Amino acid sequence: MKEQFYQYIQKLQDQICAALEQCDGEAKFKEDLWQRAEGGGGRTRVIENGAVFEKGGVNISAVHGALPEAMQTYFGVNNANFYACGISLVIHPKNPMVHTVHANWRYFEMYNQQGKVVDQWFGGGQDLTPYYLFEEDAKHFHQTCKTACDKHDPNFYSEFKQKCDSYFWNSHRNEARGVGGLFFDYCKASDNFSMQDWYNFVTEVGNSFLEAYIPIVEKRKPISYTKEQRNWQEIRRGRYVEFNLVHDKGTLFGLKTNGRIESILMSLPPHVQWVYDHQPEPGSEEEKLLKALKNPVDWLEL
């Protein structure tokens, strides 16, 4: 399974990077190959200062070795080894009318001292973070997610949408990070769903990403914007940073386990503002976004 999934994420990285470069029309991804001293490595690709994308990264990694102490405590195991591979991406467009997007799909194995697999699971998801709310974009993104889910289980979309709404919640701000999408973790084999079934589902979602995101970018990137709208985008990006550094499990785990700092912090936008007690004008498009982020929305029922 690990070889099968690693081959998949290598191809997916190539496909996503090529599509994003074509959409941008100017910038190209810079590749950075790296090795992890404890075992394994990765292929980081970053795009910066493009016509459309101000900063973005599409990274793959496959690491292995002794399970870090923090994870042994978390999983309640001793002297275990692990293998983990996955692809993770964050794209920050320049135009505030174009939405930030995040996605990742990953696979994990845990071994005992004899090298036997004692646990394995998939995880991942994709979510959209607008600065200006276009309901039809949220509908398109969620409909693409639902279409992918429905091919495997009619309950997956509602279950994983709810988990996404719960996970990407800035509790210290009492608001969502964005308009959600899918989030799933610890997807393990059961009597009626094998690991191959999970592989088929996760790759279905991964393959749907470009269909979910690129049409939105193409529709919104020609829209002109003002300096004030750009300021709003940078203020909202501050909330994105807050979530990643305060709540995100992957970021916190990487920082606590000697992870590769450049790859971990790749998700942070290049230009951000924190304005004291900033409040949008009543009735404005900015206020409209904040109201939508106060409670989860069923975007497909609007």
pLDDT in tens, the chain (302 residues): 999 999 999 999 999 999 999 999 999 999 999 998 889 999 999 999 999 999 999 999 999 999 888 788 888 888 899 999 999 999 999 999 999 999 999 999 999 888 899 999 999 999 999 999 999 999 999 999 999 999 999 999 999 999 999 999 999 999 999 999 999 999 999 999 999 999 999 999 999 999 999 999 999 999 999 999 999 999 999 999 999 999 998 888 778 767 788 888 888 999 999 999 999 999 999 999 999 999 999 999 97
Task: Supply the pLDDT for residue 113.
Answer: 85
How many Å separate Cα 110 from the centre of its chain?
A: 23
**AA identity, residue 133:** L
Helices (H), the chain: 2-24, 69-75, 135-150, 156-167, 195-220, 227-246, 249-256, 261-264, 285-292
For the question of residue 102 being annotated catalytic, the response is: yes
Are 52 and 24 in contact by the 8 Å Cβ rule? The answer is yes
Instruction: Quick: pLDDT tens for 245-260.
Output: 999 988 887 787 677 8
At a CB cut-off of 8 Å and minimum separation 6, what does 12 contact? Answer: 87, 105, 206, 207
Distance of alpha carbon 16 from alpha carbon 10, whole angstroms: 10
Number of domains in the chain: 1
pLDDT computed for residue 59 by the predictor:
96
Question: What does the alpha-carbon distance between residue 173 and residue 179 come to, in Å, rounded to a whole number?
Answer: 15
Distances from the Cα of 272 to the Cαs of 142, 239, 242, 254, in angstroms? 27, 9, 11, 22
CATH of the domain at 162: 3.40.1500.10
The model's pTM: 0.96
pLDDT of residue 256: 74
Range of the domain at 39: 2-301
Among 99, 102, 140, 142, the active-site one is 102
